[in-house]
Amino acid sequence: MELSKPWRDPGGYRRGRLLEAKYEAELALRFLEQGLYRNAAGKAFQAWKAFLAAVAVDHVGLLAERFRGTRTTREGRRVRLADFIAAFMPTGYMLAAAAVLEEASGLKLADLTNVALNLHEFQYNGLDKSGTFSRYPSLELVEADVKRLANAVLELVSKLEG
């Protein structure tokens, strides 16, 4: 299933991203049960990224005030940077977008975005007992953060759907 872009069908895009967030969070928890820590971290990150994108659709006007300019999509279409952020939620914009969206929505997003970014880093770098290449010196910390983020996504998706 390919999602429509938020500038074409904002409501459909939002629903699709919320569904994606829910499924990714559920997969993260399943992977965790199977001891697949890096996969679980990646799925938790993707769940959060999809959730932020869903929230961004509701506040794209405010994002446009904070993020000026345009970007070109893969299809060659020029779109406002705010629409690009809502559509793709680039990793480099996640923390800044979360701060704006937290202010606009009243949801606690910035702290969980930091957790998501930490898990994303762990997904690529793995465990590092020295703390040089990863913020996680133990799998217990990874497990706690995957559970925290995945459960938060499931709770927030339920709240926004209801």
Instruction: Give the CATH superfamily of 10-161.
Output: Nucleotidyltransferases  domain 2 (1.20.120.330)
User: What pLDDT sits at residue 130?
Assistant: 82
Residue scoring higher pLDDT (125 or 45): 45
> How sure is the predictor about 4, in pLDDT bands with cuts at 50, 70 and 90?
low
CA–CA dist 82, 42 (Å, integer): 25
- Give 97-114 as a DSSP string: HHHHHHHHH----HHHHH
The residue ranges of every structural domain in the chain are 10-161
Q: What is the pLDDT of residues 48-85, one digit of tens each?
A: 999 999 999 999 999 999 999 999 988 898 999 999 99
Looking at residue 91, the DSSP 8-state letter turns out to be: G
- Check: pTM over 0.75? Answer yes or no: yes
Q: Residue written as tokens 């800044």? A: 96
Closest Cα to residue 120, out of 152, 95, 84?
Answer: 95
Q: How confident is the model at residue 149 (pLDDT cuts 50, 70, 90)?
A: very high
| Predicted local distance difference test score (pLDDT) of residue 129 | 80
Percent over 70 (pLDDT), the chain: 95
Residues above pLDDT 90, as percent of the chain: 81
Alpha-helical regions (H) of 59-109 = 60-66, 81-88, 94-105
Q: How far, in whole angstroms, is CA 109 from its chain's centroid?
A: 10
